[in-house]
Amino acid sequence: MNKLYFPRIAGELSLSASQVAAVAKLVEEGATVPFIARYRKEATGSLDEVAVAAIRDRLEELAELDKRRDAMLASLEERGLLTAELKADLEKAQDKARLEDVYLPFRPKRRTRASMAREKGLEPLALALMAQLGRDPKVLARPFVDAAKGVPDLESALAGARDILAEDMAEDPRLRATVRELFTRRGRFQSKVVKGKQEAGATFRDWFVWDEPLRSIPGHRALAMFRGEAEGFLSLCLRPPEEEILELAKRAFLRGRGSDAQEVEAALADGCKRLLAPSLESEARAGVKARADAEAIRVFATNLRGLLMAPPLGQKRVLALDPGFRTGAKLTVLDAQGTLLHHATIYPTTSPGQREASANEVKALCSRFQVETIAIGNGTAGRETEAFVRELGLGLPIVLVNEAGASIYSASEIARREFPDLDLTVRGSVSIGRRLMDPLAELVKLDPKSIGVGQYQHDVDQAGLRKSLDDVVMSCVNAVGVDVNTASQELLTFVSGLGPALAKAVVAHRDEQGPFKTRDALRKVKRLGPKAYEQAAGFLRVRGEEPLDASAVHPERYALVKRMARDAKCPVRELLSDASARARVSLDDYVAEDIGLPTLTDIMAELEKPGRDPRAGFSAFAFAEGVNRIEDLTPGLELPGIVTNVTKFGAFVDIGVHRDGMVHVSQLADRFVADPAEVVSVGREVLVRVVDVDLPRGRIGLSMRGLSTSRTPT
């Protein structure tokens, strides 16, 4: 850990160096972001998860920079090229671009035109030309003509010298820095259709002719055009005007007016076009891609958080249906803990006879298992199955559930382990029911990329995406808390300090020894050491002998809470249940060197509502009756809907017609909206107006202008 970076990171993030140092120390000791943000507020100055993660990520980036620098120094020293000046230049480099610029002339590379010219002994000629003293190039070149060395004539000698000059110029750190700034200031992002690909590439026709400033192109548009290029339909150019690049090179290197200077000028033109511009264009592409990736990943992470933190139905008996036309609807009944009690196939959308038999079966099962809620997947035949169930007059809440990813879960190793003897479609029905009961607990079993709340998720940096999404899942799981005696292995995996191996060990111990009676009993789990216990304990819930075990109070503070109870002259259980008992506690009396008011305030809030779920309360949502297909839509129709995805250019809304409509950012509100996330979020109920319907392309344009931005939230 390079402590010299602490002030730099503090300045970048508008924090104090002591806060950065505290987070760095905790991360180095193995602490997770949720643990640091929740239980180490005094050390960090109450930094939230966003700030803690930003410090962690910047430390990792700078550590990678140091690692790259060390590799360069080692390589140079091994090859006998390391000088004191070069070492100082490398150590002064504050970013990757500058570091690579300094190293570029010395980087091992495959044979180039310049290296072959050097092998022919033409470097002295290049230096003589570069002096630009007004000498005749042909006179300078004559001593270097040698057929045995591959230099048969004067022009071959001069061409080789120009190649050397072109490469030296293209690798000059100062010129690269200047031209890099020109790319930033004057670069254009230009796109045109590949000749003959107009029809095949119709999906990308918006960018058949496109030109905008490189510095301001939105990430989603850049990713769309990068995809079009990758698929062979678009040709992209990300450069400033070429004449401006050459002008900067001339200012830097052209000093004379003689014929030797003309050779230098020709070398500069060649070097700019063949080497410098393509090199910095590649760098610019990487920069635009990195910014676009970061933007897309942020949007995906925000959407995923909204989905994971959706209101849970809770522990209720559920009849779940995975709809289908020809193959019927797969029906499952789950108890309040999500255990499968019964499964069958019904045919509510085929013949009248099968419809009647299906109705009788659903009624009988609801009565037999005392079903409390019905969950229906929102895919094919979802609205038709919903209409069928509503006609039964069961008097039960009926909820359409977003089934994105349910089929992927059905075929996964997790599903096979849970239900080895069940058909894939039955597993999908179970997933739909469980997703209604507790979205978070069920969705952690899926790869977040399969849930459908991102855009270009397969085009962005996969390592960065994985890390960001894992952070979101871990944040949500730990914010809600996990019942260690009922949680799946997958859910436990995301508890702070556990991970896949320890989660598996916890489940194995639970299966062998029975339910955990206390948090302290977790210490008996194989390989779960003191550090893992410290990280995990506060986020795990055990409903048993110790009342604090069911709360977010960390075991390290149990003694403090018991002292509070003694001072208030009541047992701990009364402190949890009686507001008057808590009122007798003065937090200032418990401030000490290792605990301050931030943690004490958290403890008191937890005592007031132990183990509280931060998610909103559940309420059933219903789409408009009689609007089941895209053909049922007409402009001007106002409908309730649920936001399924939020992008930088707008939001997608499910209005119950098997195809999401799109609300462009300009149609989200009666005011200017810079970021759609300011107005809507995944899972939010909204009222929309149909603007246009494109039946051939299956596109639905929606607007929220002039309407309430949200219905009663779910």
pLDDT tens profile 255-300: 988 999 999 999 999 999 999 999 999 999 999 999 999 998 998 9
Predicted local distance difference test score (pLDDT) of residue 109: 82
Give the domain-ending residue among 237, 267, 300: 300
Helices (H), 187-276: 219-230, 242-253, 259-271
Helix, coil or strand: residue 457: coil
Same domain, 480 and 499: yes
Same domain, 329 and 215: no
Same domain, 603 and 480: yes
Residue 412 has pLDDT above 90, yes or no: no
Predicted local distance difference test score (pLDDT) of residue 593: 86
Predicted local distance difference test score (pLDDT) of residue 447: 82
Question: In this predicted structure, which of 74-78, 447-451, 523-527, 613-617 has the lowest mean pLDDT?
Answer: 447-451
Same domain, 368 and 350: yes
Question: Where residue 40 sits, what CATH number does that domain have?
Answer: 1.10.10.650
Same domain, 100 and 122: no
Question: In this predicted structure, which of 228-232, 276-280, 453-457, 459-463 has the lowest mean pLDDT?
Answer: 453-457
What's the rounded mean pLDDT across residues 479-494?
94
Q: Establish if 458 belongs to a structural domain.
A: no
Q: Establish if 623 belongs to a structural domain.
A: no
Predicted local distance difference test score (pLDDT) of residue 425: 83
Predicted local distance difference test score (pLDDT) of residue 713: 38
Q: Establish if 617 belongs to a structural domain.
A: no
- Other CB atoms within a 10 A radius of the CB of residue 290 amount to 14
Predicted local distance difference test score (pLDDT) of residue 714: 36
Tally of domains within the chain: 5
pLDDT tens profile 547-559: 999 999 999 999 9
Given a contact cutoff of 8 angstroms between Cβ atoms, the answer to whether 161 and 122 are in contact is yes
Given a contact cutoff of 8 angstroms between Cβ atoms, the answer to whether 296 and 675 are in contact is no
In the sheet that holds 209-213, the strands lie side by side as: 209-213, 188-193, 234-239
Residue 701 has pLDDT above 90, yes or no: yes
Predicted local distance difference test score (pLDDT) of residue 712: 42
Q: Establish if 545 belongs to a structural domain.
A: yes
Predicted local distance difference test score (pLDDT) of residue 465: 87
Q: Establish if 323 belongs to a structural domain.
A: yes
Same domain, 123 and 266: yes
Question: Where residue 672 sits, what CATH number does that domain have?
Answer: 2.40.50.140
Among 31, 171, 41, which residue's Cα sits nearest to residue 101?
Answer: 171
Q: Establish if 453 belongs to a structural domain.
A: no
Same domain, 604 and 639: no
The residue written with tokens 């249940």 in the block is 577
Predicted local distance difference test score (pLDDT) of residue 619: 85
pLDDT tens profile 295-334: 989 989 998 998 899 999 999 999 999 998 888 999 999 9
CA distance 192 to 208: 5
Given a contact cutoff of 8 angstroms between Cβ atoms, the answer to whether 275 and 170 are in contact is yes
Residue 238 has pLDDT above 80, yes or no: yes
Contacts 24+ apart (CB under 8 A), 415-419: 415/445, 419/340
pLDDT tens profile 187-226: 999 999 999 999 999 889 999 999 999 999 999 899 999 9
Range of the domain at 678: 630-703
Average pLDDT score over the chain: 92
Same domain, 153 and 199: yes
Q: Establish if 457 belongs to a structural domain.
A: no
Same domain, 125 and 266: yes
Among 443, 446, 428, 435, which residue's Cα sits nearest to residue 343?
Answer: 428
Q: Is the dihedral of CA 9, 13, 18, 21 positive or negative?
A: negative
- Please report, for residues 55, 346, 449, 687, 700, the alpha-carbon distance to residue 658 in angstroms, rounded to integers and kept in the order given: 43, 21, 20, 17, 11
Predicted local distance difference test score (pLDDT) of residue 404: 81
pLDDT tens profile 379-392: 888 889 999 999 99
3-state secondary structure 573-641: HHHHHCHHHHHCCCHHHHCECCECHHHHHHHHHHHHCCCCCCCCCCCCCCCCCCCCCHHHCCCCCEEEE
pLDDT tens profile 334-359: 999 999 999 999 999 888 999 999 99
Question: In this predicted structure, which of 411-415, 537-541, 635-639 has the lowest mean pLDDT?
Answer: 411-415
Q: Establish if 462 belongs to a structural domain.
A: no
Same domain, 44 and 158: no
Task: Provide CB contacts within 8 A for 706, sequence distance 6+.
Answer: 670, 689
Same domain, 92 and 130: no
Percent of the chain with pLDDT over 70: 99
Given a contact cutoff of 8 angstroms between Cβ atoms, the answer to whether 99 and 93 are in contact is yes
Percent of the chain with pLDDT over 90: 75
Given a contact cutoff of 8 angstroms between Cβ atoms, the answer to whether 378 and 404 are in contact is no
Question: Where residue 575 sits, what CATH number does that domain have?
Answer: 1.10.150.310
pLDDT tens profile 111-162: 899 999 999 999 999 999 999 999 999 999 999 999 999 999 999 999 999 9
Question: In this predicted structure, which of 244-253, 263-272, 505-514, 609-618 has the lowest mean pLDDT?
Answer: 609-618
pLDDT tens profile 586-611: 999 999 988 999 999 999 999 999 88
Contacts 24+ apart (CB under 8 A), 46-53: 46/598, 47/15, 47/19, 47/23, 49/475, 51/13, 51/15, 51/19, 52/23, 53/471
Same domain, 496 and 588: yes
CA distance 673 to 108: 50
Phi/psi at 685 (nearest 5 deg)? -85, 135
The residue written with tokens 């049922």 in the block is 632
What's the rounded mean pLDDT across residues 471-489?
94
Helices 558-567 and 597-608, axial angle in degrees (round to 10): 70
Q: Is the dihedral of CA 258, 260, 264, 269 positive or negative?
A: positive
Question: Where residue 161 sits, what CATH number does that domain have?
Answer: 1.10.3500.10
Give the domain-ending residue among 300, 335, 361: 300
Residue 505 has pLDDT above 50, yes or no: yes
Task: Provide CB contacts within 8 A for 356, sequence distance 6+.
Answer: none
pLDDT tens profile 8-64: 999 999 999 999 999 999 999 999 999 999 999 999 999 999 999 999 999 999 999
Question: Where residue 328 sits, what CATH number does that domain have?
Answer: 3.30.420.140
Beta strands in 254-385 (DSSP E): 318-322, 329-334, 340-346, 373-377
Helix (H) or strand (E) holding 235: strand 234-239
